[in-house]
Amino acid sequence: MKLPRIMLAAPASGSGKTLITCGILKALVNRGYRTASFKCGPDYIDPMFHSRVIGTRSGSLDTFFTEEKITRYLFGKAAQEAEISVVEGVMGYFDGLAGISTAASSADVAGTLDIPVVLIVNCRGLSVSLLPLIQGFLEFEKPSHIRGIILNQVSEGMYPDLKRMVEEHFPLKVLGYVPRLPELTLESRHLGLVLPGEIEALQEKLQKLAERLEETLDLDAFLAMAAAAPSLEYEAPQVPVLKNPGSVALAVAEDEAFCFTYRDNLQLLEEMGARLVRFSPLHDRELPEGIQGLILSGGYPELHAKALSENASMRASVCRAVRGGLPCIAECGGFLYLHKSLEGADGRDYPMAGVLDAGAGRRERLTRFGYVTLEALEDQMLFEKGAEIRGHEFHYWESGNCGCSMRAKKPLRKRSWKCVHGSETLYAGFPHLFFYSNTKAAWNFLRKCEEASYLC
């Protein structure tokens, strides 16, 4: 299928990928293009910014989580309805597993999707040295898939000289420049960028950014480069479906505190026949009626610990349901919510749902972060003993009891540890799971929900 597509990548993190990607997405939407967007790697926050621009959920592309056929399918399924698909890279273009491999890097995704790449180069402090930097990226691994360059942090006066030098030395198209825009920045916190809803006048800022990029970038050439991408073949995997689709209702936490959920996980559950019911542990008083399963997503419960604690009726509802046997998946932030207490960002301890008899609090640095392969050490709701699934961890908060139902193993490293509270009706732990790395886990969850005796 002919799927116009393009990737925005960079030599390193902090080069301006997310800001420029959002600005370009906004400009494309302003021009009337049906646009799809994706983010490489295990990222939740950057896709939220994309979604605010394009008006629909952004997807994830990760070649650690999924083999080539599935990666192409996940991309193609979402891209087929769009006139152009824009993929934002992760970290540096060749940075992959364990910091020692190109596997699961943006370059790996580019090769899997045969996608033209535009390299965003932060030129602050660079002039002629820009040339060997670009040369290295073109020659390090072939084909590099790099077709164009955007020069970031460049003045209008310097740009013509830099553009001429690059295009004289390399068979690349320089697609323009981005000047310093101190008034249009994205702030960060302990898990990455602040959430889109916390940025004052975000849409106004994105509109100003799009207008500025219309002046300094050659978006017509950008579109032509995307249109020149070769055809892409993909095939839908076969997954089981419930006999009565829609008969199993899953409550999915979704609000300011619980917002880290992979779109593909939810869509897979829907394709298998689940009916998703969104609710807010912050604002609703109790779990939705008539549900047979519960998903407590990751997010920032530590930033909303006081409000979550004050919603005592919801805490009691969740505790009663999960202890009563309602099948539940609780990842990272959702796992923290199930604790007896949680230290908030203000340093105070607050009562939580109380399903787990343990407290959780902040640590000074990241605790166990990055990709993991999880192996089940015993039979449980999602897995039979010995089954594996892939996921990732990224958290500053730690639990007094992380569980011992699974073993997490770091790829390309010798480090491993036990984690997860797993039972016949519960998966609760820090690792975020990607269901397409083992679709049987999603199916086991739905079957357990279908059979569950507890009904809210």
Domain limits at 305? 248-451
Q: Residue 130 has what pLDDT?
A: 96
Q: What is the pLDDT of residue 54?
A: 62
CA distances from 164 to 130, 131, 149, 172, 311 (A): 12, 11, 12, 11, 61
At 399-453, the pLDDT tens digits run: 999 999 999 999 999 899 999 999 999 999 999 999 999 999 999 999 999 997 6
- CB 354, CB 320: distance < 8 Å: no
Boundary residue ending a domain (227, 262, 296): 227
Q: Are residues 128 and 262 in the same domain?
A: no
Most confident of 46-55, 177-186, 354-363, 380-389: 380-389
Residues with catalytic annotation?
A: 332
pLDDT at 42 over 90: no
User: Chain-wide mean pLDDT for the chain?
Assistant: 92
What is the reported pLDDT for 192?
Answer: 46
Asked whether residue 353 falls in the same domain as residue 393, the answer is: yes
Domain count, the chain: 2
H/E run at residue 5: strand 5-9
- Closest alpha carbon to 21 in 224, 223, 206, 208: 206
Looking at the structure, do residues 95 and 151 belong to the same domain, yes or no? Answer: yes
Residue 166 tokens read as 């690059």
d(CA 335, CA 429): 5
Q: Is the pLDDT of residue 89 over 70?
A: yes
With respect to residue 239, please indicate whether it lies within any of the assigned structural domains. Answer: no
Helix 439-451 vs helix 263-271: angle between axes, to the nearest 10 degrees? Answer: 60
- Determine, yes or no, domain membership for 232: no
Per-residue pLDDT, 191 = 44
Domain endpoint, select from 176, 198, 227: 227
Average pLDDT in the 271-290 region?
A: 97
State which of 193, 227, 261 marks the end of a domain: 227
- The pLDDT of residue 18 is 87
Q: Does residue 91 surpass a pLDDT of 50?
A: yes
Q: Which tens digit of pLDDT belongs to each residue from 164-197?
A: 999 999 999 999 999 988 766 655 444 444 554 5
What digits encode the pLDDT tens for the residues 215-237?
999 999 999 999 999 999 999 99
Confidence band, pLDDT 50/70/90 cuts, at residue 200: low
Q: For residue 453, what pLDDT is reported?
A: 67
Give the three-state DSSP class for 242: coil
Same domain for 222 and 138? yes
CATH number of the domain that residue 22 is part of: 3.40.50.300
Whether residue 217 sits in one domain with residue 144: yes
Taking 90 as the threshold, does the pLDDT of residue 55 lie above it? Answer: no
DSSP helix/strand/coil, 24: helix
Q: pLDDT of 336-346, one tens digit each? A: 999 999 999 99
pTM score: 0.91
121 in any annotated domain: yes
Identify the pLDDT of residue 373: 97
Residue 235 lies inside a defined structural domain of this protein? no
Question: Which pair of structure tokens corresponds to residue 146?
Answer: 């790099």
Given this model, what pLDDT does residue 414 score? 87
Give a yes or no: residue 372 inside a domain.
Answer: yes
Looking at the fold, whether 140 and 255 belong to one and the same domain comes out as no
Tell me the per-residue pLDDT of 106-140, one tens digit each, with 9 for 90 and over.
Answer: 999 999 999 999 999 999 998 999 999 999 999 99
pLDDT value of residue 66: 97
Same domain, 156 and 298: no
pLDDT at 198 over 60: no
Asked if residue 276 is part of any domain, the answer here is yes
Q: Tell me how long the chain is.
A: 456
Q: What is the CATH number of the domain that holds 265?
A: 3.40.50.880
List of E strands, 201-273: 248-253, 258-260
Q: Give pLDDT, residue 201.
A: 64
Same domain, 253 and 308: yes
User: Does 276 lie in the same domain as 147?
Assistant: no
Same domain, 202 and 111: yes
> Are 303 and 207 within one domain?
no
242 part of a folded domain: no
Rounded mean pLDDT, 273-302? 96
One domain for residues 215 and 279? no
Share of the chain above pLDDT 70, in %: 93
Say if 236 falls within a structural domain. no
Distance CA 334, CA 296 (A): 5
